[in-house]
Amino acid sequence: MPAAVDTRIEIVTPENIAFQYRVAGPFRRLPAYLIDVLIRIAVVVASAVIFSLAFGLVGLPGGGFGMALIGWFLLDWFYGGLFEAFWNGQTPGKRLMRLRVVSDEGQPINGLQAVLRNLLRSVDAVPLVPVGTDPVVFPVPTYLLGLLASTMNDRFQRLGDLAAGTMVVVEEPQRHYGVARVNEPEAIRLAAELPAGFQVSRPLARALSSYVQRRQIFPWRRRAEIAMHVGEPLRIRFGLPAGTSHDLLLCALYHRTFIADRADEADGKSPFDPAHVRAVARSDAAGEVVSR
């Protein structure tokens, strides 16, 4: 496979299967980080109140405040590390944003990697910008160094990731799969007219399914423009009359290749059982792709 310009990283599993991860970029990770920050603030405030009350009842209000400070310290430095170690590479923020930390080789991370990448966060966070007036000044992290580091490798690894040998990947559950339905009766009629002996090569099959699965989002003028490049040579090859819609021709070929085997099936009857028809009704507005 040629070096891809997109954000996919290929992993080879112990089963010797190669699958791909999508690496998460800064704009995906920022919301997750902010969620974690908010959770941390909430927990610190809540623990300060609870500990102060609890210790105050025993007559040691100072102890409660001290406990809260220790909690603050632990959350500051070990929140991410502990969550990622025990939650298989996720913090609450990452889980909400469907991110996961995995090692360079795509294996799940161990506790050491999880703690290390979060301890080194403070280097990635520089420069800190002080916000507020003199008595209360919060150093707000800008993460410019981490941003710089992550633009310099193809896995968006900040310095902490580089040292721990980890990367952050997107775990996006994909809801849609299956074959697209061809609704046009003309296309199904046309499919019956195609020469029976024509074998669709693999690249052509890929191109066909890419096209048919996306054609619904294009207006017909665009469809004609896109379909022309493959459609015209095919029309000439099949000896179809000039003026045949290229769009329909591709749909017909797709239908014959992926859905209907024999010409006698090409009577417009859906090849799907009722369960899938129901599934289609539930799927999104395009309604074209069979969903689970």
Partner 1 sequence: MKVAELLDARRENWRELERACTQMESRFSRLNAENVERFAALYRSACADLALADAYQLPPNSVQYLHQLVARGHNQLYPSRSFMLAQWWDEMFYVLPQRLFRDNCLRLAFAVFWGIFLASMVCAYNSPKFTENLVGKDMMRTMEEMYEQPAISRDPNLGGVMAGFYVKHNAGIGLQCFAAGLIFGVGGLLITISNASILGAVFGHMATMPQRGNFFQFVTAHGPFELTAVVLASAAGMRLGFSIIHTRGYSRAASLKLAARDAMPTACASVVLFCLAAVIEAFISPSSLPYAVKAFVAVFSSALLLFYFVMLGYPRGEDDATG
Residue 24 binding partner 1, by CB under 8 A: no
Residues 101-160 that bind partner 1 (CB under 8 A): 102, 106-112, 114-116, 119-123, 159
Kindly give, in sequence order, each residue whose CB lies less than 8 Å from that of residue 73, ignoring residues fewer than 6 positions away.
Answer: none
Is residue 209 near partner 1 by the rule CB under 8 A? yes
* CA–CA dist 101, 114 (Å, integer): 8
Contacts of partner 1 in 224-253 (CB under 8 A): none
Q: Which is nearer to partner 1, 119 or 240 (CB)?
A: 119
Kindly give, in sequence order, each residue whose CB lies less than 8 Å from that of residue 267, ignoring residues fewer than 6 positions away: 188
Options 23, 24, 32, 67; binder of partner 1; rule CB under 8 A? 67
Q: Which stretch binds partner 1 (CB under 8 A): 81-89, 186-194, 226-234, 242-250?
A: 81-89
Q: Which stretch binds partner 1 (CB under 8 A): 6-14, 24-32, 220-228, 234-242?
A: 6-14
Q: Which of 258, 280, 283, 287 binds partner 1 (CB under 8 A)?
A: 258
Segment interacting with partner 1 (CB under 8 A) among 10-18, 30-38, 226-234, 235-243:
10-18
Q: How far is CA 214 from the centre of its chain?
A: 19
Q: Which of 4, 73, 144, 185 binds partner 1 (CB under 8 A)?
A: 73
Q: Which is nearer to partner 1, 29 or 158 (CB)?
A: 158
User: Which of 226, 271, 283, 287 lies at the binding interface for partner 1 (CB under 8 A)?
Assistant: 271
The yes or no reply on residue 30 touching partner 1 (CB under 8 A) is no
Q: Is 197 in the site for partner 1 (CB under 8 A)?
A: no
State the residue for tokens 């990635």: 124
Binding piece for partner 1, criterion CB under 8 A, among 13-21, 25-33, 186-194, 240-248: 13-21
Taking CB under 8 A as the rule, does residue 66 contact partner 1?
yes
Residue 11 interacts with partner 1 (CB under 8 A)?
Answer: yes
Q: Which of 250, 260, 266, 288 binds partner 1 (CB under 8 A)?
A: 260
Site string for partner 1, 42-61 (x = CB under 8 A): -------------x----xx
- 177 is a site residue for partner 1 (CB under 8 A): yes
Q: Which of 261, 267, 268, 286 binds partner 1 (CB under 8 A)?
A: 261
Q: DSSP characters for the chain?
A: -PPPSSSEEEEE-TTS-EEEEEEP-HHHHHHHHHHHHHHHHHHHHHHHHHHHHHHHHHT-HHHHHHHHHHHHHHHHHHHHHHHHHHTTS--HHHHHTTEEEEETTSPBPPHHHHHHHHHTHHHHTPSEEEES-TTS-EEEE--HHHHHHHHTSTT---HHHHHHTEEEEE-----EEEEEP---HHHHHHHHHS-TTPPPPHHHHHHHHHHHHHGGGS-HHHHHHHHHHHHHHHHHHHTPPTT--HHHHHHHHHIIIII--SGGG-SS--SS-HHHHHHHHHS-TT--EEE-
